[in-house]
A and B are shown apart, each in its own frame.
Chain A
Amino acid sequence: NAGVTQTPKFQVLKTGQSMTLQCAQDMNHNSMYWYRQDPGMGLRLIYYSASEGTTDKGEVPNGYNVSRLNKREFSLRLESAAPSQTSVYFCASRQGINTGELFFGEGSRLTVL
């Protein structure tokens, strides 16, 4: 049972480099989410997509872009990484409006030097 798969699991970047975090779910879920987790800050929503073809900003969208490539995949891109983006990133999905809990990936640990 794959569920929600994130890649890569670990990444080290230099300031100014770009990268894309990939997320795919095999549960036919409509909604997908990207969160970042920092000590003492809980999980903060970066972007989310309530359905294929739509994306919306969350609490901390600055410095990130997203693409809902199809129903299965939701990628997060850092165009010019900054040390403040050092964090653990979680992708999550759920069935959709009014139903279902969030299913999470295992997380991606990103370090920006």
Chain B
Amino acid sequence: AQKITQTQPGMFVQEKEAVTLDCTYDTSDPSYGLFWYKQPSSGEMIFLIYQGSYDQQNATEGRYSLNFQKARKSANLVISASQLGDSAMYFCAMRENRDDKIIFGKGTRLHILP
């Protein structure tokens, strides 16, 4: 069954440090995609990064990178040089290609400390 797990309910990190947010998943579909979204306190959902299951390289977008370990079924988000504006809720999501169903994890609330 399709499943996404985020085991860190909350994290506190010092400004300018790197952050790793954990995400593990489970699926029987060999073709799938993984997303990360950011939700600031204002409530909107902001797309950060995407990784396809057949992509050869880990995805990167500016300060965001996705540490994709297919055999371990993990897709951790790495934020380099964290900023105060990175304080938000972060969600991992997965899409199975066979039906376009997309489910989310419970999220991790990240607090960046000055």
Contact = CB atoms under 8 A, between A and B. Distances in A.
A106 B6 CA distance: 24
Interface string B88-106: 0001010001011111111
Q: How would you classify the secondary structure of chain B's contact residues: helix, strand, loop or mixed?
A: loop
B102 A102 contact: yes
A90 B107 contact: no
Which bracket fits the contact residues of B? 20 to 34
Which bracket fits the contact residues of A? 20 to 34
Contacts, number: 57
Contact of A59 (B9, B103, B105): B103
Interface of B: 6, 9, 33, 35, 37, 43-45, 47, 50, 91, 93, 97, 99-107
18 contacts: A42-B105, A43-B93, A44-B103, A45-B102, A45-B104, A48-B101, A50-B99, A50-B100, A90-B45, A94-B100, A98-B33, A98-B97, A101-B47, A101-B50, A102-B37, A103-B47, A106-B43, A106-B44
